């Protein structure tokens, strides 16, 4: 079995259902590179090419462009040999690299009963240009269409991160006791009730109960808890937690497919499959535009027979074909992806990666922003927040005593305390004694020093002030010579731009900001209050977060975005209308599940992303109005015989160039 390439889930009878990871990732593939039929089936628009590749991707367009320019130059200078069959063959060869894939798509669509597609219109119009002898125009029109498609594909390729294996986040092995020693096996082969060993830094492979006296586990990825969880013998442990302190032993209580990690992965799959696919605007426009211009072209050719006395079929066929060439939606086709390309490029420069233009469309509609706490608005690292001294010692002396004791500990909170710097050399402690689940005791400069929690103070009959009962952060109490000396609080540090982000949401149309966290509710509420968030809930499991978001989505007027970074956030990222992941420190599963990645881990970039999305949409509509406006004017002229083929092509090219310049503005704007 290849653990790297498959996700496993099980039916009610326990039979494994195996589906490739690539199939699941395809569900997250931006619809901007897919064409969706009315029946909901997806078809890769250009499955013969990897648009994320090198110059080979553009080879067909380059060949057509060189041959077209060469042919036009030969025509312009009236080169004698460039006549007759040679001239026709030259332009046919120039047309084939960009035209053949489109004609193939048109035939495939026709075989499915879809007549009025952009492929059909492009094929008929350009073949019509060849039929009336306007070979350069036919090649130019199809070349512009191909370039527009390449721009769109390039935008998507730049916006997507490389896809990594989803299962990288789950434990790969379990050390199981076989009666004599511990042996490494696949976690899926471990039965309930078996004894497993987990070393320091390893992930716990299955849910179980702790057999060791105590343990310190990092559960941030599973529960969102910002500080390590302190467990005693008999306590429950969750798969995916990281052992922080010492080698521990666990007795399994669930099979792997029932474990916390497997459950989260299953939730990701289910939520992803429920995310609705959104067609690009160009697809919707083409469904209306294409049949209209096709029927109008037919009418231009046939109807004059009944009203014009000197009707000549060839003349009106010529006008109809010119009308079709004019009606080729080249400028329209290229202006939309170029607008998205400009927006995606501007976002990338600001450290924001959209996994397709569709998610840019969706982001501008968001009016409810839901966010995780740990790693999203906080840095996810411990830091001393406050130092309170009760026995009259100087801060330097107090911290020297505390550092002397904590220097012998490997606990994550001790590591945070050791980051504190003092003048001079830290005093050496002696006779260090660890008191399981409570703290440490030792001798510093002849004084008896104890450092730990309230239980430790009580054990040594040291009275503590009532104020510490109201402190929600992690607290380390210090007693010196049987008297309370003071305490330090350890807290997750707020990100520099967190408060600014919350205050800026309203300016970009976010009417409701909600915080959902797996961390303790008291800590969650405190952080929410500091940030100005009025709606916050803590102590939530992944399925609780998912339920909250699904309830929010039930409102017809709600478009919900979720910002998160941990494995526990993945189901919500998948289920929300727009999933936004912190990319620098976020888990792989969160990054791969999300629609938008914030590379810098700055929440304020979400506001920037919304601004870019809204500006992109404005520019795209400007390009659409420009393209359609000019197109309609020239179409009318073509119907009355007032426009030539080249005028139509140049009008289209001119509009396309204006659309390009308009889209480039996005890259130049300051956000």
Q: What's the domain range around 444?
A: 380-494
Residues annotated as catalytic are 372
The per-residue pLDDT for 595 is 87
Residues 506, 362, single domain; the answer is yes
Q: Is the pLDDT of residue 367 over 80?
A: yes
Question: Which neighbouring-strand residues pair with 435?
Answer: 439
Residues 518, 482, single domain; the answer is no
Share of the chain above pLDDT 70, in %: 77
Domain-ending residue, one of 185, 219, 253: 253
**Mean pLDDT along residues 108-133:** 82
Distance of alpha carbon 460 from alpha carbon 158, whole angstroms: 62
Q: How confident is the model at residue 462 (pLDDT cuts 50, 70, 90)?
A: very high
**Mean pLDDT along residues 207-223:** 82
Question: How does pLDDT run across 227-264, given as a tens digit for each residue?
Answer: 678 888 988 888 878 888 889 999 999 888 777 666 55
Q: Is the pLDDT of residue 274 over 60?
A: no
Asked whether residue 507 is assigned to any structural domain, the reply reads yes
Residues 432, 480, single domain; the answer is yes
Residues 489, 596, single domain; the answer is no
Residues 461, 504, single domain; the answer is no
Question: How does pLDDT run across 469-491, given as a tens digit for each residue?
Answer: 888 888 999 999 999 999 999 88
Question: How does pLDDT run across 143-157, given as a tens digit for each residue?
Answer: 877 876 776 565 445
Total domains present in the chain:
3
Q: Compute how many other C-beta atoms are within 10 angstroms of the C-beta atom of residue 442.
A: 22
Distance of alpha carbon 338 from alpha carbon 344, whole angstroms: 10
Distance of alpha carbon 94 from alpha carbon 136, whole angstroms: 9
Contact 378, 498 (CB under 8 A): yes
Asked whether residue 352 is assigned to any structural domain, the reply reads yes
Residues 390, 373, single domain; the answer is no
Q: Is the pLDDT of residue 278 over 60?
A: no
Asked whether residue 165 is assigned to any structural domain, the reply reads no
Asked whether residue 184 is assigned to any structural domain, the reply reads yes
Residues 562, 432, single domain; the answer is no
User: Domain containing 475 — which CATH number?
Assistant: 3.40.1110.10
Residues 549, 415, single domain; the answer is no
Domain-ending residue, one of 466, 494, 522: 494
User: Domain containing 512 — which CATH number?
Assistant: 3.40.50.1000
The per-residue pLDDT for 217 is 87
Residues 477, 535, single domain; the answer is no
List the beta strands (DSSP E) in 361-495.
368-371, 378-389, 429-435, 439-444, 447-452, 474-480, 483-494
Q: How confident is the model at residue 451 (pLDDT cuts 50, 70, 90)?
A: very high
Residues 529, 472, single domain; the answer is no
Residues 371, 452, single domain; the answer is no
Residues 500, 485, single domain; the answer is no
Specify burial of residue 93 (Cβ count, 10 A radius: 0-12, 13-18, 19+): middle
**Mean pLDDT along residues 359-382:** 88
Torsion angles phi and psi, residue 663, rounded to 5: -70, -35
Distance of alpha carbon 476 from alpha carbon 357, whole angstroms: 49
Distance of alpha carbon 297 from alpha carbon 635, whole angstroms: 10
Domain-ending residue, one of 494, 513, 544: 494
Asked whether residue 515 is assigned to any structural domain, the reply reads yes
The per-residue pLDDT for 133 is 84
Higher-pLDDT residue of 65, 40: 65
Residue ranges of alpha helices (H) inside 112-134 are 118-131
Between the alpha carbon of residue 214 and those of residues 211, 240, 247, 451, 520, the distances in Å are 8, 18, 10, 18, 21
Q: Is the pLDDT of residue 614 over 70?
A: yes
Sheet with 182-185, side-by-side order of all strands: 182-185, 174-177, 195-198, 248-252, 208-210, 236-237
Asked whether residue 2 is assigned to any structural domain, the reply reads no
Question: How does pLDDT run across 586-605, given as a tens digit for each residue?
Answer: 666 777 788 888 877 889 99
Asked whether residue 422 is assigned to any structural domain, the reply reads yes
Asked whether residue 425 is assigned to any structural domain, the reply reads yes
Name, of 64-78, 244-258, 315-329, 613-627, the range with top average pLDDT: 64-78
Distance of alpha carbon 558 from alpha carbon 362, whole angstroms: 12
* pLDDT-wise least confident of 65-74, 165-174, 300-309, 463-472: 165-174
């Amino acid at each position: 079995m290849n653990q790297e390439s498959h996700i496993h889930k099980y039916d009610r009878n326990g039979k494994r259902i195996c589906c490739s990871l690539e199939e699941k990732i395809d569900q997250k593939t931006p619809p901007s590179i897919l064409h969706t039929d009315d029946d909901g089936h997806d078809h890769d628009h250009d499955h013969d090419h990897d648009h994320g590749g090198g110059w080979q991707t553009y080879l067909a367009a380059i060949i057509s462009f060189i041959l077209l320019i060469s042919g036009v130059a030969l025509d312009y200078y009236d080169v004698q040999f460039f006549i007759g069959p040679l001239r026709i063959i030259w332009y046919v060869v120039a047309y084939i690299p960009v035209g053949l894939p489109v004609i193939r798509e048109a035939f495939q669509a026709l075989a499915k009963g879809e007549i009025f597609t952009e492929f059909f219109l492009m094929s008929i119009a350009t073949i019509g240009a060849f039929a009336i002898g306007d070979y350069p125009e036919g090649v130019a029109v199809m070349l512009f269409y191909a370039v527009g498609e390449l721009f769109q594909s390039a935008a998507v390729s730049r916006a997507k991160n490389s896809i990594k294996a989803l299962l990288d986040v789950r434990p790969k092995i379990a050390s199981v006791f076989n009666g004599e020693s511990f042996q490494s096996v696949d976690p899926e082969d471990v039965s309930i009730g078996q004894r497993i060993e987990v070393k320091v830094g390893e992930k716990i492979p299955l849910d179980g109960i702790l057999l060791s006296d105590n343990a310190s586990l990092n559960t941030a990825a599973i529960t969102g808890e910002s500080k390590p969880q302190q467990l005693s013998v008999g306590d429950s442990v969750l798969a995916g937690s990281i052992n922080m302190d010492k080698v521990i032993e666990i007795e399994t209580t669930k099979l792997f497919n029932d474990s916390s990690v497997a459950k989260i992965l299953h939730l990701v799959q289910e939520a992803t499959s429920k995310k609705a696919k959104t067609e690009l605007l160009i697809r919707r426009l083409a469904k209306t535009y294409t049949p209209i211009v096709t029927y109008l072209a037919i009418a231009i050719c046939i109807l004059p027979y009944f009203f014009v006395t000197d009707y000549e079929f060839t003349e009106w066929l010529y006008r109809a074909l010119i009308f079709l060439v004019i009606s080729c939606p080249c400028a329209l086709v290229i202006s939309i992806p170029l607008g998205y390309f400009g927006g995606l490029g501007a976002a990338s420069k600001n450290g924001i990666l959209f996994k397709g233009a569709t998610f840019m469309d969706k982001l501008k509609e968001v009016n409810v922003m839901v966010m995780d706490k740990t790693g999203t608005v906080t840095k996810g690292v411990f830091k001393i927040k406050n130092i309170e001294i009760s026995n009259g010692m100087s801060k330097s002396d107090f911290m020297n005593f505390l550092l002397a004791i904590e220097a012998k500990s490997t606990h994550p909170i001790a590591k945070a305390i050791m980051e504190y710097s003092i003048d001079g050399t830290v005093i050496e402690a002696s006779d260090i004694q660890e008191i399981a689940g409570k703290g440490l005791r030792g001798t510093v400069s002849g004084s008896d020093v104890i450092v730990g929690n309230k239980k430790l103070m009580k054990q040594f009959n040291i009275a503590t002030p009532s104020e510490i009962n109201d402190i929600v952060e992690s607290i380390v109490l210090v007693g010196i010579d049987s008297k309370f000396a003071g305490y330090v609080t350890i807290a997750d540090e707020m990100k520099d731009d967190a408060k600014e982000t919350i205050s800026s949401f309203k300016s970009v149309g976010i009417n409701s900001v909600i915080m959902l966290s797996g961390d303790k509710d008291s800590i969650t509420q405190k952080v929410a209050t500091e940030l100005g968030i009025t709606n916050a809930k803590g102590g939530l499991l992944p399925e609780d977060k998912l339920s909250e978001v699904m309830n929010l989505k039930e409102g017809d007027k709600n478009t919900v975005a979720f910002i998160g970074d941990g494995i526990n956030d993945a189901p919500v990222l998948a289920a929300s209308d727009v999933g936004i992941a912190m990319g620098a420190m976020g888990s792989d599963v969160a990054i791969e599940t999300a629609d938008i990645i914030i590379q810098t881990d700055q929440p304020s970039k979400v506001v920037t992303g919304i601004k870019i999305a809204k500006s992109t949409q404005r520019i795209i509509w400007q390009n659409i109005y420009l393209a359609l406006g000019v197109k309609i004017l020239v179409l009318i002229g073509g119907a009355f015989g007032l426009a030539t083929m080249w005028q139509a092509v140049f009008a289209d090219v001119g509009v396309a160039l204006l659309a390009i310049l308009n889209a480039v503005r996005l890259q130049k704007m300051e956000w």
